[in-house]
């Protein structure tokens, strides 16, 4: 009951506000075109009829929430998963490159952090480059990666996954540098009194201490991976994936399709972030954390 009052009601209130604002926006943006249509057809609808018409256009400037919802429902649950119109199929394609890019990015981020924490030269030289790498707009870089890799014969999943890697290694590297440096001086002194080697200090102290930092940055990284995968799908000739769906929607002014692809992307992102969060909770529980 407390959960209902403290969590669900506030979320639903905000959601309702967004939906109302969305309907008002849909009316305002679709009205001029509808007025134009009615004038040409010589129709004079009542206010109620006019409002309904702005919400039921086949290619609206801004589709109304119920149009997006029914399109999303239809393309998610009523189509065969193998169909090219199924959002599940497209989400699956995007998910595959998101997850491979995320795995690679996390691994790369951890390796970079280990290097920075243990090698003074890397500590002094690597960070500026890592930060610079993230200031380059991925939208400019993605087509170059796709084209260059296609020129050497690499197409399909790998180029998209690499764009995800490029976006997701960064939060992990930054978070893990902080995490691996998080043990207190007292704990480091303790390992020193045992005459522990650097490797022993790493495995028994630094790495376990960094776990909460790892999961916090993996949450950011997995969302960035999804963005990378979608962007990677834009220049691939619109074959498959949420990005391709967005692109073809914009070619043919299928605004409803574009919006339901966006919703699909949001659902996938929410699922991924939640999954990483749950995995983090489970690991921390297994490591004896005090239950909150």
Partner 1 sequence: MIDQMNALASQIKPATAVSVPVVEAKGLGLTFETNDGPVHALSNVNLTINKGDFVSFIGPSGCGKTTFLRTIADLEQPTAGTLSVNSMTPRQAREARAYGYVFQAAALLPWRTIERNVALPLEVMGFSRTDVAERIHRTLELVNLTGFEKKYPWQLSGGMQQRASIARALAFDADLLLMDEPFGALDEIVRDHLNSQLLELWARTSKTICFVTHSIPEAVYLSTKIVVMSPRPGRVTDVIESTLPKERPLDIRETPEFLAIAARVRDGLRAGHSYED
Residues that bind partner 1 (CB under 8 A): 184, 186-187, 189-196, 200, 204-205, 208-209, 211, 287-290
Question: Cα 101 from chain centroid?
Answer: 12
Among residues 85 and 192, whose Cβ is nearest to partner 1?
A: 192
Among residues 160 and 206, whose Cβ is nearest to partner 1?
A: 206
Among residues 37 and 287, whose Cβ is nearest to partner 1?
A: 287
Shortest separation between residue 284's beta carbon and partner 1, angstroms: 9
Contact 260, 72 (CB under 8 A): yes
Shortest separation between residue 183's beta carbon and partner 1, angstroms: 9
CA–CA distance, 179 with 217 (Å, rounded to integer): 10
Among residues 210 and 217, whose Cβ is nearest to partner 1?
A: 210
Shortest separation between residue 196's beta carbon and partner 1, angstroms: 5
Report which of 90, 101, 19 is spatially closest to residue 242, judged by C-alpha positions.
90
Element (H, E) at 290: none
Q: What proportions of the chain, in percent to the nearest 5, are helix, strand and coil?
A: 80, 0, 20
Among residues 51 and 209, whose Cβ is nearest to partner 1?
A: 209
> Who's near 36: CB < 8 A, 6+ residues apart?
none
Element (H, E) at 259: helix 255-286
Shortest separation between residue 212's beta carbon and partner 1, angstroms: 10
Among residues 151 and 186, whose Cβ is nearest to partner 1?
A: 186
Contact 228, 95 (CB under 8 A): no
Shortest separation between residue 192's beta carbon and partner 1, angstroms: 7
What residue has token string 């260059």? 148
Identify the DSSP state of 202: I
Three-state secondary-structure class, residue 292: coil
Shortest separation between residue 109's beta carbon and partner 1, angstroms: 21
């Amino acid at each position: 009951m407390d959960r209902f009052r403290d969590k669900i009601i506030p979320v639903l209130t905000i959601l309702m506000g967004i939906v109302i604002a969305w309907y008002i926006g849909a009316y305002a943006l679709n009205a001029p075109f509808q007025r134009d249509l009615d004038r040409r057809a010589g129709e004079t609808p009542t206010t109620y009829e006019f409002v309904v018409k702005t919400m039921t256009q086949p290619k609206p400037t801004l589709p109304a929430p119920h149009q997006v919802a029914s399109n999303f429902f239809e393309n998610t649950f009523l189509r065969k998963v193998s169909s090219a119109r199924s959002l599940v199929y497209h989400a699956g394609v995007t998910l595959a490159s998101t997850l491979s890019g995320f795995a690679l990015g996390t691994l790369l981020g951890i390796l970079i952090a280990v290097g920075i924490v243990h090698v003074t030269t890397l500590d002094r030289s690597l960070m500026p480059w890592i930060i610079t790498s993230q200031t380059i707009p991925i939208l400019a870089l993605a087509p170059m990666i796709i084209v260059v890799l296609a020129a050497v014969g690499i197409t399909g999943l790998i180029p998209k996954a690499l764009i995800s890697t490029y976006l997701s290694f960064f939060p992990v590297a930054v978070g893990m540098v902080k995490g691996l440096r998080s043990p207190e001086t007292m704990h480091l002194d303790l390992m020193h009194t045992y005459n522990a080697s650097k490797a022993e200090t790493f495995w028994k102290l630094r790495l376990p201490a960094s776990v909460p930092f790892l999961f916090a940055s993996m949450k950011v990284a997995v969302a960035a991976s999804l963005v990378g995968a979608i962007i990677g799908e834009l220049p691939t000739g619109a074959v498959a994936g949420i990005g391709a769906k967005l692109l073809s929607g914009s070619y043919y002014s299928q605004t409803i399709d574009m919006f339901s692809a966006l919703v699909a992307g949001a659902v996938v992102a929410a699922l991924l972030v939640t999954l990483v969060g749950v995995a983090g909770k489970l690991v921390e529980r297994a490591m004896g954390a005090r239950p909150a």
